[in-house]
Structure formats: structure tokens, C-alpha cells
Amino acid sequence: MAIFIASTKSISRGKGQSAVASASYRAGEKLEDKRYGKVHDYSKRYGVMSADIILPSSLKNIGATIERGELWNKAENRKDARVAREWLVNLPHELNKEQRKKLAHTFAQALADRYGVIADCAIHKPTDKEIERGADARNFHAHIMLTTRKAELNDNNEIVLTDKSTAELSDKKRREIKLERMSHEVKEVRQLWERVANEKLAEHGIELIDSRSYKDRQLDIEPQLKMGSVATKKERDKYERELRKAKEAQKKGGHYEIDNTPVTVPGQINAIIKERNELVFNSRKREQKNDRLRTVERATKYIENATNNTVSVNQRIDETKRQLERAERAINNTARTATPNPLEQQYRASVDRREQATAELARQQRRVDRETRRANLEDKRRSERAEQLKLRLAHKLLTATQQDNCLRPGFNDDPNDYPDKYDYRQIEVIKDFVTSLNLQSKYFRDNLTAVKNKIDESFIANNKDLIHLVNHPKQEREQYNERLTAWFEFKEDIDQKRADFNQSIIPKLGGSAGEVGRMTRDIISSFDYIQGLDQFISDDKQTIEARELAKSHRSDTLNRTCQQFKYAYFDVLKLPSGERESYTNALKLTVEEFKNIYGSQLPYEQNKAIDDGLRAFNNDLQRSHRPSRGFSR
């Protein structure tokens, strides 16, 4: 049975990745990375069946070519942090080598033409060593690396990388050019792979694949946890130890049963989920088999009925003759028939009714028994699934801050580069929630059990948003950003207006006056800026999340303005004489008005910052007016 796998990820410097190194590994070639002065040599790597550069049709049709090393060094020379995009697709093992290659190239060509980029398509198969470790020998797959920028010819007929492809644009930029969100684009490409693959599968009479999720296909299949690099290594190391024991026992003429029990918590959870999914698959197969058997039985009965009802013309004629003869004999027979006994007829009718009632009761009892068994089985499955989901949710809550699951603290990572990881905002939400659970144990397993036991109907009802965030970080982030779009657009507009105003008053103040001038101009424009924020906050048409962000930004703006008063007053008297007076007067006029309007809203620390600045200013002013002491003879 062909399996649907089509996933995408970005290759970026932010993750410590290199386009040249990635291409070298996937193609199994030796490539020089000119940007970093490194040579990546994977020419001895096993499992690479083929690797080909695929140009967009517009370049391929005019005979343009480019080498792999040249291509990915051009990609590295761009200033972008994101240097390539990769699509990974599973190739049906039912096809032969050439058919799989043709299928992968067809899809890669479709991607190259869709975005106007260059594709590097490498087809892999599991190595013998990987198969020994338990990998599926039928796992043929293609790594398709795409340039993030469009490929064109320059005046020298050389291939150059120009503008970003539409696949790399932000959702905001995509909206501006009337394109759907990137999540919708990914879904369309998955459907594209489904169409391309199914055309080939249909040609060979192979079962088709489906790009829809288990949920959309109404399949009761539970996705497994992401293991992470640490847990995966532990499981692999344990399996290799068991494999060595089995080989040693075989050399000595004995037998050793490999222990496949997972050693990590994610592995144990995935084993439970796998067992549960297999039960669902087997149950579904039995239902399909029973459906086919019932179809065959119905068809057989139809055939039998058709055969029994199909009587030859001669047989019908003979039967008609016999019926006429019997009728004629009956008419001629003058013997009187026996008179029916009414009591016997009543007795027989009573017996028939009792037998029918007994049979009906038996049928009803069998139906009740079947429904009871089915209900008990469903209850058991629901209970098992509920325990699995609770355990999985608890595990996600406690492992959210692990490096494999979230953006790296302090690196300012872009969530678009790690769509399935928790972003900085989401991590803070999860941290606060886990802290509120007041977990006491220093052991992970004890805390895992404690969290699982807290999850009940009340927990789920009170924490729906959190559960959605934990289970679907990418979807939650998109929904959150969608709710905040109006705020981001408003803030971008009001920030630009403030910057334009600040620039326009420089001539009136007699010059830019360096850092003191920048802070003073911010102070002057803060009144209209805060008033604009207040209008946004009071607008009931805005979402709660957007208004909360605006409130937080308003608080930050007030605090920053107080600090600007402080430091501007510290240094305003140090300005050149041409700027000193105008900026001093501006500060004097604004500080009184600012304290009158916002003073009651300011905490002690912010009022103190303004007072500290005023005190320093007055001290400097007094010193400047004090006559200097001289030496008398």
C-alpha cells in the first residue's frame, strides 16, 4: 500500500545550516562551500540512488545549465538567513526504480515551474545498516531542495538568483499580492503531490494515496509524539545493544530474543499509540472484509434467484399442460373432499404465532447482545484513548521548553523557520501554566503522572485555549496573528506618522541635537501618540488580544517617555548654544503638561525618574550661573 508523505521545511543559517552542506549530503557529492571556506565530502555516502538539477521550463527550454556546487554557492551568497526550502516525499515501493525517478522528477519540475526556482532532486533508499537497525527496506523517498529565489538569465546568459519566490514571502506580503496564506500554499502543494503520484499509481493499478489528514478522512488514528534527537539516540543505542547480543548468541549457536521495549517516555507513549492505531487499522480491515463478504453473498443470492427464475420456454409449456390436466381431473372428480377441522386449524395457528414470537424474541436478544458488546468495546477504546491523550498532553506540557520543541532562548529565531515549534510567546504561556500546577517532585515521571491525573473534564473545559496551543502551536500562532493583524497594521502606521512628525520639527528646534534632540522630539510627539493608542484601546471593534497588546505598548510608552525626560534633562545644558535654548524650552513646556495629564497614572518609579531629571537640570543650571572663584594677589 502506497503511503502519503509530503512535508516541507526551510534550510537557514539561523539553524546553523548551509545550503552547500545540505546539497552535498543529499546528493552524495563533494562540494566546496566558498562562503565559509569548507569542503563537504559525502561522496562515499550509501543510499543515494540519483541526484539531478531540475531547472524551470523557461530556462530548460533554452538549454541553460548550472552545476550543483555553483548553484548552492550562489544561494549562500544571498543576504537571506533562509537559503533553501526542502520538500520530502515518499516514493511508492510498488513502482520500479525508473518509475520512481520519473515520478519524483515530475513533481520537482512542477515545483520549479510553480515558483520559477531551481530544484535539486535526490532520491534515497535505506542502507543495509539502517535496515539492520529496523528501518523499512521499502522506504524510498526524494529530497527536493528548492532555491528561495527565482532563477533568471542575466545579460551574459548566466543563471542568477533574483527576487524571492512567492513561497518565501510573509503572509502580509502574500496578502498584498492577492495570495492565500502560506499554510494554504503548503496544503495546495501537498494536493499537487497527491495528483501527480496518483496519476502514476493509477496507471499501474496500485492503491491511490490521500493528502487529507486522518481527521478529514474520518479515521480514528492518533498521531505519534515527536521523539526529539536525545530520545531517538537513546532508543537507537538500546536497539543496537540488543542487536549485538542477538548476533553474539547466534555465533555461539544460541538464540537471544531482542527486547523491543522503549527506554524513553516518548518511546513508551508512541508504542501505546502505535498499538492502539494497529487495533483501529485491523478493526477497519475486518469491517472492509465483512463488507466484501456480504457483497459477495448478496451477489450469489441474486445469481441463484436469477437462475431459479430463468426457466426455459419448453419447461413452462410442459408445466402449463400438467396444471391443465390436474385441473381437469379435479373437475371430473366427484369425490367429496374432507371437511377441514376448525379446532385443528386454530391450534396450528396458535402454535405458529408462538413460534414466531419466540423467534422474534431470540432475534431481539441477539441484537441487544451484539449492541452491548459493541458498546463495551467502544467504551474501552474511548477510555484507552482518553488515557493516551491525557498522557500525551502532560508530556507536551512538561517537555515544551526542551530545545527540540521550542525556539532557542536569546537567539531571536523566526517562528516561520520553525513552524512546528513553540515560539517565545507560547513558551511563556506554557511556563506560567506549568508553574501554576505546583508540581512537587524532582523526578520527571512523577510529575508526568501528576499532570495526567489533573486532566479531567473540568480541566479541559477551563483550559481549551491552552490545550489548543500545546497540540497545534503553528495553527494557534496563525490564529493569534490573525487576531492581531489590525494592531500590527495600526502600530506600523502610527509609528510612521510619529517618525515623520519628529523629522518635520527639527528645523523649528534649530537642529537635530543628537541623542538629547531625539529624546526631546519623542517627548513632544508622545501626547498625540498616546492619544492614538487610547482610541485604539477603546475601540470595541478590535479583538481583545489586540487591545491588550495596545495597553501593554501604552504602558511601555509612558515608562520610556519618563526615562527620556530624565536623560534629556541630564544633558540638555551640554548642547551648543544654538540648540540649547530651544530644546530647554521644549522640555519645560512639555514636562508640566505631561505630569498634569498622566502624573496620576504613573507609578512611583516613573514619577521619580522625571523628578531626578528636573533636579539634575536645576543643579546644572545653578552651577552655570554661579560666579567662578579666582585667585587674588
Who has greater pLDDT, 109 or 171?
A: 109
47-89 pLDDT per residue, tens:
999 999 999 999 999 999 999 999 999 998 766 578 999 999 9
The 10 Å CB-count burial string (b at 16+, else e) for 327-353 is eeeeeeeeeeeeeeeeeeeeeeeeeee
Give the model's confidence band at 263: pLDDT under 50 very low, under 70 low, under 90 confident, else very high. Answer: confident
Q: How many Cβ atoms sit within 10 Å of the Cβ of residue 604? A: 7
Give the DSSP H or E segment for 153: strand 149-153
Per-residue CA distances from 103 to 4, 91, 110, 171, 586 (Å): 14, 8, 11, 31, 71
Residue with cell 587674588: 632
Give dist(CA 231, CA 207) in Å, integer: 34
C-alpha cell at 210: 490521500
Please list the residues that pair with 12 across neighbouring strands. Answer: 82
Q: How many Cβ atoms sit within 10 Å of the Cβ of residue 421? A: 21
Who has greater pLDDT, 260 or 46?
A: 46
Kindly calculate the radius of gyration of the chain based on its CA atoms and give it in whole angstroms.
39
Lowest-confidence region among 120-134, 233-247, 307-321: 307-321
Per-residue CA distances from 401 to 150, 394, 430, 616 (Å): 37, 13, 9, 46
Q: Which domains does the chain have, with CATH numbers?
A: 6-211 (3.30.930.30), 384-471 (no CATH), 477-625 (no CATH)
Q: Find the length of the chain.
A: 633
Give the model's confidence band at 289: pLDDT under 50 very low, under 70 low, under 90 confident, else very high. Answer: low
Give dist(CA 218, CA 359) in Å, integer: 38
At 350 the pLDDT is: 72
Give the model's confidence band at 554: pLDDT under 50 very low, under 70 low, under 90 confident, else very high. Answer: very high
Phi and psi at residue 225, in whole multiples of 5°? -70, 150
565-585 pLDDT per residue, tens:
999 999 999 999 889 999 999
478-530 pLDDT per residue, tens:
888 888 888 988 999 999 999 999 999 999 999 999 999 999 999 999 999 99
C-alpha cell at 280: 483501529
Are 188 and 211 a contacting pair, CB within 8 Å? Answer: no
Burial (CB < 10 A; 0-12, 13-18, 19+), residue 17, is: middle
Left, alpha or beta for 401 (phi > 0: left; psi -120 to 50: alpha)?
alpha
At 257 the pLDDT is: 85
Nearest one of 411, 417, 403 to 83, comparing CA atoms: 417
Left, alpha or beta for 374 (phi > 0: left; psi -120 to 50: alpha)?
alpha
Phi and psi at residue 66, in whole multiples of 5°? -155, 145
384-436 pLDDT per residue, tens:
888 888 888 999 999 998 888 898 887 778 888 888 899 999 999 999 999 99
Per-residue CA distances from 195 to 11, 95, 107, 209, 538 (Å): 26, 16, 10, 9, 50
* Crossing angle (nearest 10°) for helices 342-399 and 444-454: 130
Considering the entire predicted model, what is its pTM?
Answer: 0.52
348-391 pLDDT per residue, tens:
777 777 778 788 878 888 888 888 888 888 878 788 888 888 88
Please list the residues that pair with 149 across neighbouring strands. Answer: 164
Q: How many Cβ atoms sit within 10 Å of the Cβ of residue 11? A: 22
What one-letter code names the amino acid at 622? Q
